[in-house]
Amino acid sequence: MSPIRLSTVLVALLATACTAIDPVSRGATENVSIQTNETALVFESAAGVWGGAVLRGEEYAWVAAALHVENKLAAWRVSADRVRSAPLLGDTGYHPDGVAVWDESSVAVAVEGIRRLQLWRIAGDRLVKEADLPTVFGARDVLVADLDGDGHRDVVLAPYAGKEVALMWGRGGFNFSEPQMLQGGASGWHPVAVDIDADGDLDLLWAELDTGVIRLARNGGSRNFAVSELHKVKGVTPRQLAVGDVNQDGRLDIAVAVEIGDAEVLLALPGGGFTSETIRPRGLGHIGVAVKADGTILLSNENEITLVKQSRTSWERRLLPAAGMPAPIALEHVDGDEYEDLVIYHSSGSGGVLVYFGPMWVQAEVLEPLTR
Ligand SMILES: [Ca+2]
Ligand SMILES: [Ca+2]
Ligand SMILES: [Ca+2]
């Protein structure tokens, strides 16, 4: 992976940040500088952060992150006025990758390097490991959702390398069935659970790094999934996909970040199926993507986030700074106001986790629009 190179804008952002320290940070084991300002927060990590999740409480949120290289789970508390604590830390063992919300105070962590699925709870000023289960492969991602609608949370594991996605059916608590394997193509990272066919149950979608395929596992009920190739990207290595209503017509669309090549937007057609449009990158391509409720597409690339909004004839664009390898990215509610916040996990280098508090469009630099 390429070395870290903080953009000058981000350096400026950090340099102008004022300092605020949350007194709850007792118990943290790392000496970190704490910085905040009105629009962004940086959560430092010495090396790559491969994933994370946000636990949103009534008064504050916890940002949890998999410190892949440091072999730790970190959790920072963030108040409604955007002040954060020093991190709580827990040792996961070798190479944690993905994190998902399990309940209001705990997260599931895929520890890819030792093939484990762990349950971690935030208990006062400590992170407590409450369960530690073997997994069928080294999992890049973990997703938690009730896929069969029986009231028990189920787990989806996506492989770091491999052609199968594993479903673990919840039996109550952090207990699961033997894994049910779905056959796809190689390296289907960052699966998304969404009712893409609008029939009332959650389907699964993922992008395969090695095949270029956007794969759909359609939920047929009774734990049956029909896996099919929904689309193949024109470029090389789709890294993340996001679902949202890009053109605000009431139908869910799919945006795909492609590492080398154009980003693709699959716009849902009224009679079913999709039409594909492309967004030219500023560099080689993009590695992360999210779609806001208003349809704005956020695409991450080395050291930057491009905000893209569809208009009749063009893609309007704006730019926010980031650090090296800003992927995956996610929209969350961190400070608890009505605006979605962008959470960026920098998977290489020392960018740590960066949160942009919404609204983001107004604080971003204007770029020339692209013709559609
Ligand atoms: Ca279930
Ligand atoms: Ca469905
Ligand atoms: Ca749409």
279-322 residue pLDDT tens: 999 999 999 999 999 999 999 999 999 999 999 999 999 999 99
CA of 241 to the centre of ligand 1 (A): 24
Q: Between the CA of residue 255 and those of 66, 161, 252, 263, 339, what are the distances in Å?
A: 25, 23, 10, 7, 21
CA of 272 to the centre of ligand 2 (A): 13
Q: Write the CB contacts of 296 (distance below 8 Å, at least 6 apart in sequence).
A: 307, 308, 309, 360, 361
User: Cα 161 to chain center, whole Å?
Assistant: 18
Ligand nearest the Cα atom of residue 249: 3
232/207 Cα distance (integer angstroms): 9
What is the rounded average pLDDT of the residues 45-62?
95
Ligand nearest the Cα atom of residue 156: 1
Q: Is the pLDDT of residue 200 over 70?
A: yes
Ligand nearest the Cα atom of residue 216: 2
Q: Is the pLDDT of residue 230 over 70?
A: yes
Kindly report whether the global pTM for this prediction surpasses the value 0.85.
Answer: yes
**Cβ distance 143 to 193 under 8 Å?**
yes
CA of 220 to the centre of ligand 2 (A): 8
What does DSSP assign to residue 221? S
What is the rounded average pLDDT of the residues 159-179?
97
What does DSSP assign to residue 245? -
Q: Buried (b) or exposed (e) across 147-173, using 16+ Cβ within 10 A? A: bbeeeebbbbbbbbebbbbbbbbbeee
Ligand nearest the Cα atom of residue 218: 2
User: Cα 74 to chain center, whole Å?
Assistant: 16
* Three-state DSSP class for residue 16: helix
**Cβ distance 237 to 258 under 8 Å?**
yes
pLDDT averaged over every residue in the chain: 91
CA of 37 to the centre of ligand 3 (A): 35
Ligand nearest the Cα atom of residue 224: 2
CA of 171 to the centre of ligand 1 (A): 8
Q: Is the pLDDT of residue 12 over 60?
A: no
Ligand nearest the Cα atom of residue 265: 3
CA of 170 to the centre of ligand 1 (A): 5
pLDDT of res. 46? 87
CA of 53 to the centre of ligand 1 (A): 20
pLDDT of res. 37? 52
CA of 252 to the centre of ligand 3 (A): 5
250/252 Cα distance (integer angstroms): 7
Q: Predicted confidence band at 25 (pLDDT cuts at 50, 70, 90)?
A: very low
Ligand nearest the Cα atom of residue 202: 2
Ligand nearest the Cα atom of residue 147: 1
CA of 204 to the centre of ligand 2 (A): 9
- Name residue 220's amino acid: G
Neighbours of ion ligand 1 (CB under 5 A): 146, 148, 150, 152, 154, 170
> Over pLDDT 70: what percentage of the chain?
90
* Three-state DSSP class for residue 141: strand
pLDDT of res. 38? 73
pLDDT of res. 28? 36
pLDDT of res. 2? 36
Ligand nearest the Cα atom of residue 251: 3
Longest dimension (CA), the chain: 57
Q: Is the pLDDT of residue 157 over 90?
A: yes
Q: Strand pairing of 164-168 and 274-279?
A: unpaired
273/216 Cα distance (integer angstroms): 12
